[in-house]
Amino acid sequence: MLKFFARYKTFAIVFFILSVIIILSIYSLLKPEERLPVYQPDMVNAELVDSTKQYVRKYHTISDFELVNQNGDTITQDYYNDKIYIADFFFTTCLTICPIMTDHMIEIQEEIKNDDEVLLLSHTVFPVTDSVPVLKKYAEEKGVIDEKWNLVTGDKKQIYDLARKSYLATKSNGDGGKYDMIHTENFVLVDKKKQIRGFYDGTDPEAIEDLMHDLEILKKEQTQ
């Protein structure tokens, strides 16, 4: 009996390995490929969406924009052509959620700094004080890599319209006066077609992990 098992030991090992490979191959073929949703305004909490967009069910994309970054350069949608990017809204003197969000953006920047497909875009919600020199000083203090991350300022109405009508990211209209501001913790993942593919709490480390996971899924999808 022992001689019998010794004779077929190699065969049994090879058979076992092949069986595992076949089972794993079948599983990978049957397992559905992960894909991110394409968010439309009617899929998002209505409080976060301008009333003119709440019932839009398809073809929603980020509107064209023209803003100015920390270096005084004009930044338009063209800068993000054929790029995936992560957008948020902040202001430099914020003492509540913004520092946490910025720290998380810095972590993301470190992860993507050598990735040509992915960029970052932070909009100030307080353009009355966040001028180009203020943004430049802030960027230098935070270690912003200019080629990866634009901190932008500009017309308040344009920025606020982007937040509610394009990024679907804030509950407030911010139309209560010169110093009224929108405030949102949302990070928004945007694909190469200017479509929203995910929302993440920029103050939550676990949400940032989810964002990085989803970013890899999106990159695979957009290279197919």
Does the annotation list 104 as a binding residue? Answer: no
Structure tokens of 135?
A: 């943004």
CA distance 125 to 163: 9
Count of CA atoms in the C-beta half-sphere (13 A) of 144:
23
**pLDDT at residue 222, rounded to an integer:** 83
Phi, psi at 108, each rounded to 5°? -65, -45
Output the pLDDT for position 120: 98
State yes or no: 94 annotated in a binding site.
yes
Tell me if residue 139 falls in helix, strand or coil. Answer: helix
Closest-CA residue to 73 (of 134, 146, 138, 123) = 146
Distance between alpha carbon 138 and the CA centroid of its chain, in Å? Answer: 21
Instruction: Note the pLDDT of residue 27.
Output: 44
Asked if residue 123 belongs to a known ligand binding site, the reply is no
Q: For residue 162, how many other CB atoms are within 10 A of its CB?
A: 22
State the virtual CA torsion across 108, 211, 149, 94 in degrees, nearest 10: -90
As a whole number of angstroms, the distance between CA 203 and CA 186 comes to 8
41-222 CATH: 3.40.30.10
DSSP structure string for 166-204: IS---S----SSTT------EEEEE-TTS-EEEEEETT-
How is the chain classified by DSSP, letter by letter? -HHHHHHHHHHHHHHHHHHHHHHHHHHHHHSPPP----B-GGGS-GGGS-TTTTT--S---PPP-EEE-TTS-EEEGGGGTT-EEEEEEE-TT--SSHHHHHHHHHHHHHHHTT-TTEEEEEEES-TTT--HHHHHHHHHHHT--TTTEEEEB--HHHHHHIIIIIS---S----SSTT------EEEEE-TTS-EEEEEETT-HHHHHHHHHHHHHHHHHHT-
Q: Global pTM?
A: 0.84
Question: In the prediction, which pLDDT does 12 show?
Answer: 52
Q: Along the chain (224 residues), what's the average pLDDT of each consecutive run of 10 residues?
A: 52 56 52 85 94 94 98 98 98 96 98 97 96 98 98 96 95 62 92 98 98 97 78
